[in-house]
Amino acid sequence: MVLQTIAQLTWRQLFARRRVIIAIGIAIIPFLMTFLYRLASEDREGDRLDYMLGVNKEILLSVLVPLAAVIFATTAFGGEVEEGTLIYLLAKPVPRWQVVVLKFLVALVVTLLIAYTAVLLPWFALRNAELPWPFVRGFLFGVTVSATVYCALFIWIGLKTRRGLLFGLLYIIFFENLGARNFEGIKSFSARELSLTASEWASGGTIKWAIPGVAMSTVWWVGSFIVIAALGLAIWRLSRYELAEQL
């Protein structure tokens, strides 16, 4: 019952009016871009495939999914940390790990709803023989991988600092979109790079990237490690927060 109440409060907190508008905007940006593309394109053979590959790689996986994750995952705890009301949540007779995992799952569900909408709407608008179901299935799996990694990281960052949104945005810009693109050693730890490989693997060959990415085994092992480590740090941080408040 307590966990259900926490989940409901978190859901309401995430869907404040301003964030609802942001969520809708993120979800429909690829569709609006596709609408403009349909108006301007001559629709030659292969154009739709190239367009969808570019939008999903450079807009969805590089910008929109991490943006949705940082907004909603840092807010899952961020509001309570900023307002100083986290101690009231800790007073509930619930294990700390359950609180962290529950808030992570709520943030992940919200992020995935946005990401899946952003994948499916453009595909419905353009689908043809060039864009079969395995194509969209690949990107659905890719955004699932990236959203899971991002939400775990940003849950921890939201607990670690009151400026979680700022630090999350800096992480997206400098690590994911600058570092991972230019330094081979960083790619294996990049949620974006993991999601690109996952998309190609799940598409059954309909998605092919010109530049080889990380191995699929890296997606499973490194992705799992990042999620477990980030949630573990968040649980530890929550326990330390409780101890500090008691001293």
Checking if the pLDDT of 144 tops 70, the result is yes
At 183 the pLDDT is 85
77-89: per-residue pLDDT in tens?
766 655 555 665 6
Checking if the pLDDT of 151 tops 60, the result is yes
Question: What is the percent of the chain with per-residue pLDDT over 90, rounded to a whole number?
Answer: 53
Checking if the pLDDT of 20 tops 70, the result is yes
At 157 the pLDDT is 93
Q: How many CB atoms lie within 10 A of CB 187?
A: 19
Checking if the pLDDT of 147 tops 90, the result is yes
pLDDT band for position 75 (cuts 50, 70, 90): confident
State pTM to two decimals.
Answer: 0.90
Answer with the residue of higher pLDDT: 77 or 124: 124
**33 touches 59 (CB < 8 A):** yes
210-240: per-residue pLDDT in tens?
887 899 999 999 999 999 999 999 999 888 7
